[in-house]
Structure 1
Amino acid sequence: MNGLRKRRGYTAAAAAGAGLVLVLTACSGSDDDGGSGDGASSTTDCTAYEDYGDLSGKTISVYTSIVDPESQQQIDSYAPFEECTGAKIEYEGSREFEAQLPVRLQAGNPPDIAYIPQPGFLKSIVEQYPDVVVPAPQAVIDNANEYYTEGWVNYGTVDGTLYATPLGANVKSFVWYSPTAFEENGYEIPTTWDDLIALTDQIREDHPDVQPWCAGIESGDATGWPATDWLEDVVLRTAGADVYDQWVNHEIPFNDPQILEALGTVGSILKDSERVNGGWGDVTSIATTPWNEAAQPIPDGACFLHRAANFYQANWDESLKVAEDGDVYAFYLPGKTEDDKPLLGGGEFVTAFADRPEVQAFQAYLSSPEWANKKAEVTGQGWLSANNGLDPALLQSPIDKLSFDLLTDDSYTFRFDGSDQMPGAVGADAFWKQMTAWIAENQSDEETLDNIEAAWPQ
């Protein structure tokens, strides 16, 4: 499972979808002309697209790991650009994206645009193919500086040069719960880490037959990745953002004492049989519980708390209302204090391998509020952007709106998913596997971190 799909929480339907290649034709205001279907509109205001010029007869190729059914939402979001400029977008989605993109670059057959799912992957592409990847043009730089926080811009920057701007985004620092259960029991949303632990213990006291937390890290070949998110979130809370950056960049060893302390804090929940695994079994059941099913005991009261990203909303039964006054919802995973607001998340980045005017224009469009708003409009729910020009009224899901508020609030300190920034041998291999052994085999904290540190490429 590649990094983009594992992080964005693709559903079973998406996993079943095959890679596809779709060629879009320009729109002239009618769906009868072979255009992008309901993504286009005869009433599109093309004023914002005038600077892109007339691109009739031009084609831009896009390569990504976003496959069917999510691919259609991407395709529909390009319709205004095609309609207003006359360009055609040739879209190719592949589940083998991360393996095949380097092959294509090596063979001299790069796409015009690729959606890179991790900053670490972007950095390796820039280092290995410096003459192939193209720095962002000025229009993209301007959009990046105007519509994104400095942190997001930095994640698309390598050695001082901006190469990529964010596409979609997600927020991982959430705890899912039942608003009804909280109201019935008089529980309040915790605003500090100590409050969260006090709530955990209160739930256990009030419901002695229930473990308050439920968790699951089973994810096929990617089993273990939800546990890495736990550690990353807690490192931000116990050690702080600066130490987190040093850890991710291997400026301190993976088994640094500060990381050991953070893992112990994670273990105070995930390895405590009094606190976990409600509705599923003992601590070891976390390793075999599918990550996308792990929170399902919450509506039945078999557990009360589950840490997972905003994209977990796609895994709730359609009969459940996901809202602050609904059947299930999520609150921000608190920091040490109310003023300490670390935020863990992820996303994808738009990277170019050609500098033709039409490619630069499309790259600028993808970094603009016009694209973000169109994408939100055609998606419905389950997608958001860190672009502060996005109209939050277009976000139909309450959890998406909350996520957008957090992403664009400067009082929160955002950090990108740590394992997605680490070398593949660590972030997508040893880290997953050792966290799984930590739970399934009760491997010690020290051995777990030592084994991951030993896997770091020399």
Structure 2
Amino acid sequence: MSSTLHRRLTAPLAVLAVSSLALVGCSAGGPGGGDTHGPGDAGKADGVVTIYGTISDTEAELLQQSWADWEKANNIEIKYEASKEFETQISIRAQGGNAPDIAIFPQPGLLGDLASRDLIQPAPDEVKANVEKYWSKDWANYGTTDGVLYGAPLMASVKGFIWYSPKQFADNGWTVPTTWQELLDLTQKMRDKLGTAPWCAGFGSDAATGWPGTDWIEDLVLRQAGPETYDKWVSHDVKFSDPAIKAAFDSLGKILLNPDYVNAGFGDVKSINATPFGDVARAMGNGTCSLTHQASFFDGFLTDPKNGNATVGPDKDIWAFMTPSVEAGGNAVTGGGEIVAAFSNDADTIKVQQYLSSPEWANSRVKLGGVISANNGLDPANASSPILSEAIKILQDPKTTFRFDASDLMPGVVGAGSFWTGMVDWINGKSVDEVLTTIDGSWPSS
């Protein structure tokens, strides 16, 4: 499971835990409360660097494996701690004097909030140099607050892939569309030829049901309205009820609200909400469904034996193309990732920060499988699957405009709340105007 997906599934737990964690956090810091390094305090290099983040289970094991050789070579022990309550605990620990040396932030907004309160160290010169050399300006901006770089990107994910069968396309003379209108035209051709709905979708994800729909909308806002409008939408300077956002819903509705086009293998339009997003892999694998929209991590679901053990590649069972823009040649993508920032600035911590922002670390981790990075020094050939290699190439392309997943940047009550539920309501038949007005009304006043 990607760390981005893990956060989506655990976010509601973090929200519910705020009040109880706050009580615990009141006594967590101060004398005897643990490591009291903080901004302005250089601390003392002791050969141990603590890292705190959301990456857990197998991914955490691979993370620790990725730096194991470097630890030995540099005589620095890295102690990693994972937490499902990271989003609430990191603020509590930072204010209570019990912060880790380094934190891996899943949301740029959370890092920016702590940086604006002078709770995080500005990035050292060594990290600044790596970011300038190996990362795009789009990525650097997500680690920057008020013009100051605080963190460096770590891993990444690419969203907006549309998965299909290369053989089915070849057999029927269908070609990969290069514009949104071509995608709609292709959908109708497929419907006419197949006699059934070509698309399938699943929004089901327990307490996080609806999030796959937000990914669709984010793709369309970026591709149709452009990055400037996208950025203003994230900050609510452009409201959900704005014509640009409504246009994205209307465009998506031409597919997801059309009973002739969905929901192959599962039912009618409303079955989208009841279909677990992972179940779509089985429909793609057995040929029941011809098209679906999902991020790069979907590769793992498709190749899982319980879903049919499909092969993924340009000439394999399943492959993918990016959701096309309004005009041919558009190269804008949405995705996710992590930002690494520090609460300490001793020599050991700086060395670890520098390493994690380097192509050496990126290649080490990507070789272990399952993830990618937007580091320009990463060799795409080190990716563990063809789709991950393709995603790396997209991220490294200087012509690519990258924007972080909008719902991860919005206030939690919206991005992990009303936006998700709004997608469910929309699929269930509520009018787009009512859905968008409700989401706007949920936006915090301050």
Unaligned runs of 5+ in 1: 11-54
The equivalent of 1:287 in structure 2 is 273
State the Cα distance separating 1:191 from its structure 2 match: 1.2
Equivalent residues of 2:105, 2:338 under 8 A apart: yes
Structure (1 or 2) with the greater helix fraction:
2
Residue 267 of structure 1 aligns to which amino acid in structure 2?
G
Equivalent runs, 1:260-409 vs 2, <5 Å: 260-316=246-302, 317-318=304-305, 319-377=309-367, 379-380=368-369, 382-409=370-397
Which deviates more, 55-64 or 245-254? 55-64
State the Cα distance separating 1:99 from its structure 2 match: 2.5
SS at match of 1:165: strand
Equivalent residues of 1:295, 1:306 under 8 A apart: no
Structure 1, residues 30-79: CA drift from partner, whole Å, max 9, x if none? xxxxxxxxxxxxxxxxxxxxxxxxx9951000111111111110001111
Distance, in Å, in 1 between the alignment partners of 2:400 and 2:46 is: 45
The equivalent of 1:434 in structure 2 is 422
The equivalent of 2:430 in structure 1 is 443
The equivalent of 2:158 in structure 1 is 171
Equivalent residues of 2:178, 2:328 under 8 A apart: yes
Distance, in Å, in 1 between the alignment partners of 2:7 and 2:176 is: 26
State the Cα distance separating 1:9 from its structure 2 match: 8.9
Equivalent residues of 2:154, 2:339 under 8 A apart: yes
The answer on 1:79 being equivalent to 2:68 is yes
Equivalent residues of 2:7, 2:54 under 8 A apart: no
Q: Which of residues 403, 406, 412 in structure 2 aligns to 1:424?
A: 412
State the Cα distance separating 1:86 from its structure 2 match: 0.1
Residue 322 of structure 1 aligns to which amino acid in structure 2?
V
State the Cα distance separating 1:423 from its structure 2 match: 1.0
Distance, in Å, in 2 between the alignment partners of 1:84 and 1:170 is: 30
Judged with a 3 Å threshold, the aligned counterparts in structure 2 of structure 1 residues 416 and 271 are, in CA distance, closer, same or farther, namely: same
Judged with a 3 Å threshold, the aligned counterparts in structure 2 of structure 1 residues 7 and 106 are, in CA distance, closer, same or farther, namely: closer
SS at match of 1:297: helix
Distance, in Å, in 1 between the alignment partners of 2:103 and 2:207 is: 24
Equivalent residues of 1:179, 1:327 under 8 A apart: yes
State the Cα distance separating 1:103 from its structure 2 match: 2.2
State the Cα distance separating 1:5 from its structure 2 match: 3.4
Equivalent residues of 1:57, 1:88 under 8 A apart: no
Structure 1, residues 361-409: CA drift from partner, whole Å, max 9, x if none? 10110000110011112x22x2100000012221131001100010011
SS at match of 1:387: coil
State the Cα distance separating 1:339 from its structure 2 match: 2.1
State the Cα distance separating 1:188 from its structure 2 match: 1.0
The answer on 1:131 being equivalent to 2:143 is no
Structure 1, residues 157-202: CA drift from partner, whole Å, max 9, x if none? 1111111111110110210111122122221111111111111001
Distance, in Å, in 1 between the alignment partners of 2:433 and 2:404 is: 25
Structure 1, residues 111-130: CA drift from partner, whole Å, max 9, x if none? 11111111122222223xx2
State the Cα distance separating 1:100 from its structure 2 match: 1.9
Q: Percent identity?
A: 45
The equivalent of 2:4 in structure 1 is 4
SS at match of 2:57: coil
Structure 1, residues 63-110: CA drift from partner, whole Å, max 9, x if none? 111111111100011113212110000111122222322222232211
Equivalent residues of 1:56, 1:85 under 8 A apart: no
State the Cα distance separating 1:253 from its structure 2 match: 1.6
Structure 1, residues 217-265: CA drift from partner, whole Å, max 9, x if none? 1111111111111101011122111111111111122211111111111
Number of corresponding residues: 408
SS at match of 2:407: coil
Distance, in Å, in 1 between the alignment partners of 2:237 and 2:265 is: 40
Structure 1, residues 125-160: CA drift from partner, whole Å, max 9, x if none? 223xx2321111011011001000000000111111
Distance, in Å, in 2 between the alignment partners of 1:184 and 1:68 is: 42
Distance, in Å, in 2 between the alignment partners of 1:442 and 1:351 is: 43
Distance, in Å, in 2 between the alignment partners of 1:2 and 1:330 is: 18
Residue 443 of structure 2 aligns to which amino acid in structure 1?
W
Judged with a 3 Å threshold, the aligned counterparts in structure 2 of structure 1 residues 7 and 310 are, in CA distance, closer, same or farther, namely: farther
SS at match of 1:313: helix
Structure 1, residues 279-332: CA drift from partner, whole Å, max 9, x if none? 111111111111122232123222211111101111113432111111111111
State the Cα distance separating 1:2 from its structure 2 match: 11
Which deviates more, 247-256 or 365-374? 247-256
Distance, in Å, in 2 between the alignment partners of 1:311 and 1:2 is: 7
SS at match of 2:103: strand
Equivalent residues of 1:345, 1:417 under 8 A apart: yes
TM-score, with normalisation over the residues of structure 2? 0.88
Residue 70 of structure 1 aligns to which amino acid in structure 2?
E
Distance, in Å, in 2 between the alignment partners of 1:270 and 1:7 is: 25
State the Cα distance separating 1:428 from its structure 2 match: 1.1
Distance, in Å, in 2 between the alignment partners of 1:430 and 1:9 is: 15
Pairwise CA RMSD of aligned residues? 1.9
Residue 168 of structure 2 aligns to which amino acid in structure 1?
A
Equivalent residues of 1:3, 1:118 under 8 A apart: no
Residue 198 of structure 1 aligns to which amino acid in structure 2?
D
Residue 275 of structure 1 aligns to which amino acid in structure 2?
Y
The answer on 1:413 being equivalent to 2:401 is yes
TM-score, with normalisation over the residues of structure 1? 0.86
Residue 264 of structure 1 aligns to which amino acid in structure 2?
D
